[in-house]
A and B are shown apart, each in its own frame.
Chain A
Amino acid sequence: MISALVNPLRFMAFSRWAAPALGALAAALIVVGIALGAAAPPDYQQGETVRIMFVHVPAAWTAMFAYAALGSASFVFLVFRVALADAAARAAAPLGAGFTLMALITGSLWGRPMWGAWWVWDARLTSVLVLFLLFVGYLALRAAIEEEQRAARAGAILALVGLVNLPVIKFSVDWWNTLHQGESIFRAGGPTIAAVYLWPLFVMGAGFLAAFGALWLVRIRAEVWRRRAAGLALQAAADA
Chain B
Amino acid sequence: MITALTGRDLAVKRGERLLFEGLDFDVRAGGAVVVTGPNGAGKTSLIRAVAGLIAPVQGRIGFHGPAGPIEPDEARRAGCHLIGHQDGLKGARAAREELLFWTRWTGGGAASAHRAAVLLGLERILPLEVRLLSAGQRRRLALARLIAAPRSLWLLDEPFVSLDGAARATLQEILRRHLEEGGMVFAASHEPLPVAAQILELGR
Residues of A within 8 A of B (CB): 147-149, 230-231, 234
Q: Does B16 contact A (CB under 8 A)?
A: yes
Main secondary structure of the interface of A (DSSP, over half): helix
Residues of B close to A148: CB separation below 8 A: 15-16
Query: What separation, in Å, do the CA atoms of A234 and B15 have in the docked complex?
Result: 11
Q: Which partner residue on chain A sits nearest B16 by CB separation?
A: A234
Q: Which residues of B contact A (CB under 8 A)?
A: 15-17
Q: Chain B: interface secondary structure?
A: loop
Q: Across the interface, which residues of A come within 8 angstroms of B17, CB to CB? A: 234
Nearest B residue (CB) for A149 = B15
B54 → chain A closest CB, angstroms: 11
Closest to A227 in B: B16
Q: Which residues of chain B come closer than 8 Å to A230, judged between CB atoms? A: 16
Q: Which 8 A-B pairs have the closest CB atoms?
A: A234-B16, A147-B15, A231-B16, A149-B15, A230-B16, A148-B15, A234-B17, A148-B16
CA distance A231 to B16 in the complex (A): 8
Residues of the B chain whose Cβ atoms lie less than 8 Å from the Cβ of A231: 16
Determine the distance from Cα of A148 to Cα of B13 in the docked complex, in whole angstroms. Answer: 13
Shortest CB distance A62–B (Å): 34
Residues of A within 8 A of B15 (CB): 147-149
Please indicate the chain A residues that have their CB under 8 angstroms from the CB of B16 in the complex.
Answer: 148, 230-231, 234
B30 → chain A, closest Cβ, in Å?
37
Bound: A230/B15 CA distance, A: 12
The distance in angstroms between the C-alpha atoms of A60 and B15, with both chains bound, is: 37
New contact pairs (5) apart from A147-B15, A148-B16, A149-B15, CB-CB < 8 Å = A148-B15, A230-B16, A231-B16, A234-B16, A234-B17
A149 to B15, CA, bound (A): 7
CA distance A230 to B16 in the complex (A): 9
Q: How far is the CB of B59 from chain A (nearest CB, A)?
A: 16
Q: With CB as the reference atom, state the residue of chain A lying closest to B17.
A: A234
Taken together as a complex, chains A and B put the C-alpha atoms of A147 and B15 apart, in Å, by 7
* Cα distance, A231 to B17, chains bound together (Å): 10
State the CA gap A48–B17 with chains docked (Å).
Answer: 60
- CB-defined contacts of A234 to chain B, threshold 8 Å: 16-17
Tell me the bound Cα distance from A148 to B17 in angstroms. Answer: 12
A138–B17 Cα distance when bound, in Å, is 26
Min CB distance B15 to A, Å, is 6
Q: When chains A and B are docked, how far (Å) is the Cα of A231 from the Cα of B18?
A: 12
**Can you list 6 pairs linking A and B with CB atoms under 8 Å apart?**
A147-B15, A148-B15, A148-B16, A149-B15, A234-B16, A234-B17
- CA–CA, A149 to B16, complex, Å? 9
Tell me the complex Cα distance, A229–B51, Å.
33
Shortest distance from the beta carbon of A163 to any chain B beta carbon, whole Å: 24
Distance in angstroms from A232 CB to nearest chain B CB is 11
Q: Which residue of B lies closest to A238 (CB)?
A: B17
In the complex, residue of chain B having the shortest beta-carbon distance to the beta carbon of A231? B16
Q: How far is the CA of A234 from the CA of B14 in the complex (A)?
A: 13
- Give the shortest distance, in Å, between B33 (CB) and chain A (any CB): 28
